[in-house]
Chain A
């Protein structure tokens, strides 16, 4: 079984990451900040102006460890790509499935189903924990509506219908989102999901978490030898990691959304952790970003039950497990792709 290895996040401006024998050394202003064996790292994520030596990039690309560069707001900029490896027959099957409308639709339906189901679990839990009975009722109504959409999804066999139902579910879900926020509801109102740029703290927090999650899903797809760009639910577009985005969908509610809500409700993130940029874009501050990464990494260590594997798995490995299940389905070893459901 795969081990959950750590990710090194370098946010210090001007830091230099270099290879020293079998270790990674991070230096800034001539002083050593950290030295960690390569074998402990699954990847490095660099924010803004961070230098990585060619030796580190080559070594990591060779081992299929990831090196990802994000800009100083946490948006994806680049990643280091090693030689194309993995099973060519598996990739062939991946392309064949993408060409087949029926196979694509079946996978997309499973993913959207998982996403909606996970969103329902999240709302259900919030409904149980809400003392205000009117709010609890609104949340339960939303849960019921999502159940209705799931029911209609069962009969959907056309990709555009599936995408439409996903959009409808997302609007309904984000429409009730604010009721799950218990603290500073004014400051952290979502007011509908918006990106590029996010214009309020809640959207900024979600965007940042989704970026981290997408990086993990790209690595997970690469890890099992799948092409991260050929997806089923997301339309193909040059440079877009469609398959990784597919894998992200079912993880959003239970991994990212749940964490975002917990951060606010437990007052681990406050309004001070966000900064407004000229033009009205809102982003996490340097300190806020560190807090969120710490919380995210801790969340990844948590063990959860995986119904298909019938065992406990750290949350951080779920993208890898799902990528593996998808690969098994594409190869024909599994009749259906089974999304991950988390209660």
Chain B
């Protein structure tokens, strides 16, 4: 399934900036960055639960906000994108 992960991490403190980096890295482990604090992840149910568990372990629930949305598939029919795009479909052939 396709999941959009969006977050706000309070970066006023050094601990907050550290949380921000960690949260971004966890999202990168599952998908790709589409905007500064927005990621798209292609995961199965087990991976989704892992992703949520790891993210919730990292954030400070009193300071930060985390939201996950599921995109109706096929993604290209239900996603509208404009402006600068550097998104790659990991399901497409990956040839460098």
Contact = CB atoms under 8 A, between A and B. Distances in A.
A36 B94 CA distance: 10
A298 B96 contact: no
A37 B30 contact: yes
A9 B96 contact: yes
B39 to A, nearest CB: 11
B2 to A, nearest CB: 13
B96 A37 contact: no
Interface string B28-50: 11111000000000111001000
Given A3-B44, A39-B30, A40-B42, A33 B90 contact: no
B25 A15 contact: no
Given A23-B28, A37-B30, A294 B96 contact: no
Interface residues of A, number: 28
A21 B90 contact: no
Contacts of A39: 29-30, 43, 47
Nearest to A34: B96
B93 interface: yes
Interface string A11-26: 1100100000111001
A37 B28 contact: yes
A37 B31 contact: yes
B57 interface: no
B91 interface: yes
B31 A293 contact: no
Nearest to B43: A39
A73 interface: no
Interface residues of B, number: 18
Q: Which 5 A-B pairs have the closest CB atoms?
A: A22-B29, A297-B93, A9-B95, A8-B94, A40-B90
Contacts of A8: 94, 96
Interface in A112-144: none
The majority secondary structure among interface residues of chain B is mixed
Contacts of A301: 91
Contact of B94 (A6, A15, A28): A6
Contact of A10 (B25, B31, B47, B96): B96
Interface string B6-32: 000000000000000000010011111
Contact of A6 (B28, B31, B32, B91): B91
Contacts of B43: 39
Contacts of A7: 94
Contacts of A290: 95
Interface string A81-103: 00000000000000000000000
B88 interface: yes
Interface of B: 25, 28-32, 42-44, 47, 88, 90-96
19 contacts: A3-B44, A6-B91, A6-B92, A6-B94, A9-B95, A15-B96, A21-B29, A22-B29, A23-B28, A28-B96, A34-B96, A35-B32, A36-B32, A37-B28, A37-B30, A39-B29, A39-B43, A290-B95, A293-B93
Nearest to A300: B93
Given A6-B90, A21-B29, A33 B96 contact: yes
Contacts of A28: 96
Contact of A9 (B31, B32, B90, B93): B93
A293 B94 CA distance: 9
A23 B29 contact: yes
Contacts of B32: 35-36
A294 B25 CA distance: 29
Nearest to B25: A21
Contacts of B47: 39
A196 B28 CA distance: 43
Contacts of A9: 93-96
A226 B14 CA distance: 52
Contacts of A298: 93
